[in-house]
Structure 1
Amino acid sequence: MPSILHIAFVEEWNAARAAGSYRISSRGKSLDDGATFIHASRPEQVAMVANFAYDDVTEPLCLLVIDTERLVSALCDEDLDGTGMSFPHIYGPLNLDAVVDVLPYERGTDGLWPEVDAQVVS
């Protein structure tokens, strides 16, 4: 099962479960607001993204573990910024049955969002 991860606020994930699909692109953006895809990461990219995009967040987050084979929406691996690093993007809503696990994600004792061990999501 190939897996990717999406960083989420716990309350947004809970709201998506009640609504029947997840539509949050990234922090503060959703498909309903004009975003064209949902940002995702491979395990080795999560800490970098979290420490950049969620640097001022103090509440715990969660990691949605997504089975890419269960996705209904298109998945593209893209380097949109020209940095030489590609990220998985989900073009459309995330169907809830593609989320095979939800992991708590909290800052480390050093104040940084921690690295994610690939073994945890495989």
Structure 2
Amino acid sequence: MSHIFHITTRAAWDSVTETTPYAMSTLDKTLAEEGFIHCSATQDQVARVLSRHYQGVPGLLLLTIDPRRLDVRFEPAPDSPDELYPHLYGPLPKSAVIEVRPLPDNR
């Protein structure tokens, strides 16, 4: 596994600094609330997550993450028990993000 991906809002990502790591799990929940940060292992997973959970949300970004030295565990999602998704257990340091790219509006 060379990279994993995470969908976020521009506002959430803009709050990250070199000393304040990213700590949102999903669109409406923090790492503290959920216990981990939801990620995707493939572009197909990213597309399915966008379709299921981010319809109509403007200003989304896709983070490409280097998972080395991060506590990443592959676990089934409740709505896809046969497919494993990467979950990041702990905050995401800015230094682990390789690329930040805007996503087209998903309507």
Give the TM-score, by structure 1 length: 0.78
Instruction: Give the distance between the partners of 1:8 and 1:18, measured in 2 at CA.
Output: 18
Runs of 4+ deviating beyond 4 Å: none
Q: Which runs of 5+ in 2 are unaligned?
A: none
Shift of 1:70: 4.4
Shift of 1:95: 1.2
Asked if 2 retains the 8 angstrom alpha-carbon contact of 1:70 and 1:97, the reply is no
Instruction: Give the distance between the partners of 1:105 and 1:38, measured in 2 at CA.
Output: 19
Aligned to 1:118: none
Larger gyration radius, structure 1 or structure 2: 1
Q: Which amino acid aligns with 2:86?
A: P
Aligned to 1:77: 74
Percent of pairs identical after alignment?
Answer: 35
Q: Aligned Cα RMSD in Å?
A: 1.8
Instruction: Give the distance between the partners of 1:12 and 1:41, measured in 2 at CA.
Output: 18
Structure having the higher helix fraction is 1
Instruction: Give the distance between the partners of 2:17 and 2:62, measured in 1 at CA.
Output: 14
Instruction: Give the distance between the partners of 1:66 and 1:39, measured in 2 at CA.
Output: 12
Instruction: Give the distance between the partners of 2:23 and 2:104, measured in 1 at CA.
Output: 22
- Count of equivalent residues: 105
Asked if 2 retains the 8 angstrom alpha-carbon contact of 1:61 and 1:104, the reply is yes
Shift of 1:44: 1.8
Q: Which runs of 5+ in 1 are unaligned?
A: 112-122
Aligned to 2:29: 29
Give the TM-score, by structure 2 length: 0.88
- Map 1:31-46; keep pairs closer than 5 Å: 31-32=31-32, 34-42=33-41, 43-46=43-46
Question: Deviations along 1:1-40, whole A, 9 cap, x unmatched?
Answer: 71010000011001123762000000100023x2100000
Q: Which amino acid aligns with 1:49?
A: V
